[in-house]
Each structure stands twice: as structure tokens, then as C-alpha cells.
Amino acid sequence: MNNKRVPKRWMYPIDEQNNNTTNLNAAIANQYPNGDDINGVMWILQ
């Protein structure tokens, strides 16, 4: 899984994806310019 790389962040839970899609997508867009990627570095750490 993940090509033997150490992920940089946790993935959002499936419940969040199913029940709060609009806010989840807004949060991802604001924090991760390259999309929902567990290897992505959060904007504050760049």
C-alpha cells in the first residue's frame, strides 16, 4: 500500500465522505492544493 512510502497525513474517514461531502471537499481544496492525497503536505507545512 502507498508504494512503501510513509504517508504525510491521515485520510478522511469514509463516514465524512458519505455524510459531509460538501464541507469535506471545501476543506480539501483549502488545505491541499493538489487534491486529496495522503502524501500531500498541508499548506501550513510548506
- 1 occurs within a structural domain: no
Q: How many domains does the chain have?
A: 1
- 2 occurs within a structural domain: no
- Region 2-25: what's the mean pLDDT? 91
In tens, the pLDDT along 24-45 reads 999 989 888 788 888 888 777 7
Segments forming the whole domain that contains residue 11: 7-45
Contact status, residue 42 vs residue 9, Cβ threshold 8 Å: yes
pLDDT of residue 16: 93
